[in-house]
Chains A and B, each alone.
Chain A
Amino acid sequence: MKPAAPLLMLLPALVLVPLAVLLPPLLHGGGWELIGNFALAAVTPSLDPVVLASLLAGLAVTAGMALLGWAGSLVLGLVLGVASSRTVWRTLTGSGVPAELIRRLLAIPRSIHELIWGLLLLQLVGLQPVVAVLAIALPFGALVARVLSDLLDALPTANLEALRAAGAPAPAALLTALGPALLPGVLSYGGYRLECALRSATLLGVFGLGGLGTDLKLTLQSLEFHELWSGLWLLLAVMLALEAIVSLLRRRWLVPGRFVLARRGVGERSREMLLTLAALVPLCLLVGRGLGVDPAALLSWQPLPGLGEGDWAATWALPWPRLVGGTLLLTALAASLAVGLAPLLLLLVAPLAWARQGLRLLWALGRLWPPPLSALLLLFVLQPGVITAALAMGFHNLGVLGRLLLESAEATDPAAQEALACGGSGPRLALLYGRFSGLARPYLAYGAYRADVILRESVVVGLAGATGLGSQLLESLSSFAWDQLLALVAVYALLTLVGEDLSDRARRQLLAERR
């Protein structure tokens, strides 16, 4: 009894059953009025010019931090990615061992979420625009490096060997043989990273690193819902515009989407791509000036308070099994919710074209709405804990997965679905059998990757209380127990690495079984 592909896709939604049981006791009775006010304010955002001007200024800071952090991550990622490629090392020195070493080392910055980077840097150098930029650039750079070196090492080496055999020097041969083939993949991933950077910059703002996120959090805490929604709609406009530009460039340059179902051909218009990249340099310099980013600020460290002997006994005495268990449970719940709900909701609205547009909007809101803010909002009606945090994380990731699923569903061949509908199947069953069958494995493979992201990200909903490592980390940070902090970051990194490995395996297996 092995579930067939389309059914496999719906299985994660079974998480709704335990949630339906566990959720009602978590309601604490009050707060519905606040939620109602919040929802109503969506259609009556504040149009006060003073408010809008302040929000726009915040938005500019957030967008600027995202752009600079992203650009920094690309530069870092390119250098480190080449440095951790086996093919490159083998061509230059004849041995792939240094690549492996660098790759392992890079796992550490990668496994630490940008929020932790941001908060650590904040302690070190104080509130500076450069903190948020660096907090994004470091982990993203390590992520880009990994993807880039994977891409590099997966390229066929026949051209490279031919050039080397013909006497071309190693660096020139590498650039000529691998450069052009690499560009589409890098650009596609880079575009996705820019979208992530915007979300991260907003999130960092929520934790006080400046920009629109800070405004959103303040307006939410002071229950100024009309102003909150003005900020949200502005952010939504920017995010949708960015996503539209990225997908337009992807189509124009024929680079593969993030969720590759069919290879559509190789990159074209290389000159245009390079020019666009070159245009980013002056843009980044301008933005950097505008934000007042001062890299020199990184050099003047502030004296750290109370950095004495570590109290390792107290650190050891932390309830580790509960902390780790809470984090894992949070990840599993949020991932199942996000992975399972996206296809389920798409099936539900299948007969109604307009409802699909509604889902698109809901998912866009999920993507831009930082999970800690959803958690704060949920706390109006729910008690703090893992489930509340999981709902917040789930909603955010549902936004990411839902969009991906909808776009891939629209990009795949409609023939089988059409045939079923023509034979009288209802629109939902035709979608399930005709489209989801082909989408299931790549979708779940992406879901496995997403679960890994959620694990890294679970720290951000630490504010929702009692959610495992994340809450403890924020607590230790605010009391500056650096010994605990060190141990927590290490455990987080370890978990993330194990999770990354598991999700890689799951992904490979899912894609291998796809015939």
Chain B
Amino acid sequence: MAAGPATAVLALRGIRVSGRDRPRLEGVDLSLAPGERVALLGASGAGKSSLIAVANGLLAPAAGTVLWEGQAPARSRRGRRRQQARIGTLWQDLRLIEELTVQQNLNAARLARWGWPRALLNLLLPLDTAACAAALRAMDLDPALLEQPVTALSGGQRQRVAMARLLRQEPTLLLADEPLASLDPRLAGELLALLLAQAEAPRALLLSLHRPDLLDGFDRAVGLKDGRVVFDGPVAQVNRALLADLYDGTPQGPSP
């Protein structure tokens, strides 16, 4: 099946993920069209992280199907890697490689497409400086940072470098698991705007979020509760009653 322009970037059907006493996800359907920006809402423990992990292939569901750009997970190692290369994840703990420079970290996003010679050379020489500088500029960072070790960066700079690395990977599916949880409100707003700006067709964005006040730039919201989808619709339909139901009994606000 060829991936036409209308094919969903991500399609999940009937996803089930087992947990210790109850399923972490149960009967989850979710589809992301190219260019769509979807916010994933839910209390802690609702299954947001599990859903992101299924979406980026880290977690194989116990039941249900996952399609990336219309394709089931490839059986061959090489085919699977090619699929994974098109899925970019912004991790909550960023997962930068602390011992390397900013440029080496950005280029690490190219490893899926590079062979050994370039991968080794990247550890010796600055490679693809122009592309790396462009990725930093897109995140409002000074390209002079390229030579810096990532340990020398401030918290906000690290966040932006992680986002620049995501762009450098050139994924079609952008996933982010609570990327704004530990940021102050102003920075969170700025970074979210940058991320949303990158999610234009053929890309799609799925971002899990704890703060309903940041929903403005999204096209759709999906509400998860106890591992099930309880809401899937335009952001405009998210109202106080829905939020109260989603965060039922749990304190609302940024997760710790």
Contacts and interface: CB of A to CB of B under 8 A. Distances in A.
A228 interface: no
B91 A7 contact: no
A253 to B, nearest CB: 30
B112 A425 contact: yes
A437 B99 contact: yes
A422 B56 contact: yes
B80 to A, nearest CB: 8
Interface of A is mostly: helix
A239 B104 CA distance: 42
B81 A426 contact: yes
Interface size range of chain A in the complex: 20 to 34
A231 to B, nearest CB: 41
Contacts of B169: 423
Contact of A425 (B101, B111, B171): B111
Interface size range of chain B in the complex: 35 or more
B82 interface: yes
Interface of B is mostly: loop
A515 B87 contact: no
A515 B151 contact: yes
B112 A424 contact: yes
B125 interface: yes
A3 interface: yes
Nearest to A426: B81
B123 A423 contact: no
B95 interface: yes
Interface in A414-431: 415-416, 418-426, 429-430
A425 B109 CA distance: 8
Contacts of B89: 419, 422-423
Interface string B78-117: 0001111111110101011111110010001101110010
Interface string A1-12: 101111100000
Contacts of A440: 99
Interface string B42-61: 00000000000000111000
A434 interface: yes
Contacts of B254: none
Contacts of A429: 111, 116, 119
B108 A433 contact: yes
A3 B169 CA distance: 23
B123 A6 contact: yes
B124 interface: yes
Contacts of A423: 84-85, 87-89, 109, 111-112, 169, 171
Nearest to B108: A433
Contacts of A419: 89, 91, 95
Question: Which 10 pairs show the lowest CB-CB distances between chains A and B?
Answer: A424-B85, A424-B112, A424-B84, A7-B123, A425-B111, A419-B95, A4-B123, A5-B99, A437-B99, A424-B81
Given A7-B120, A419-B89, 8 more contacts: A4-B100, A4-B101, A415-B91, A424-B84, A424-B85, A424-B111, A429-B119, A433-B100
